[in-house]
Structure 1
């Protein structure tokens, strides 16, 4: 007997088994491949984040050093002006 799409109907048990078989090794391999790609992208993002963090730390330290030097120059200039 044909189903609504003109397909032959299958008994319920055979249909359920067919669905399990239709999601086989190829699909799991594709999912694993996608997960590996996602993992690789996340690793790459983590590396970039670590690099940016290190560069920001360097910039922060550089700015601190520049600020201290500027404050020292201002202090020297004000002490020279009072003498």
Structure 2
């Protein structure tokens, strides 16, 4: 079958191009899905990191209070022993 200028029709090449585009779309969808999973994983990791950071800060503050208390008790005991 001839085209408008008497050239052969390129229906077969159009079909092949369309198939290639569809395959490309599937690859992009797969890539997009993988990126979404990575993003979700990184969000969860960030939440865990924030939680651990908060817990470590609480532990540090608690430890500092314990040290201050122990230091105060030691000073009090030392002063009593000096008297």
Could you tell me how far apart the structure 1 residues matched to 2:25 and 2:61 are? 53
Report runs of 4+ in structure 1 exceeding 2 Å deviation: none
Could you tell me how far apart the structure 1 residues matched to 2:42 and 2:15 are? 40
For residue 22 of structure 1, report the CA deviation from its aligned partner. Answer: 4.4
What residue in structure 2 maps to residue 32 of structure 1? 18
What do the CA deviations read for 1:46-83 (whole angstroms, capped 9, x no partner)?
10010000000000000000000100000000000011
Could you tell me how far apart the structure 1 residues matched to 2:66 and 2:19 are? 70
Q: What are structure 1's unaligned runs of at least 5 residues?
A: 1-15
Tell me the SS of whatever aligns to 1:17: coil
Q: What are structure 2's unaligned runs of at least 5 residues?
A: 70-83
- Equivalent pairs, count: 67
What value does the CA root-mean-square deviation take over the aligned residues?
A: 1.7
User: TM-score, normalised to structure 2's length?
Assistant: 0.75
Q: Which has the larger radius of gyration?
A: 2
Q: 1:46 aligns with which of 32, 41, 44?
A: 32
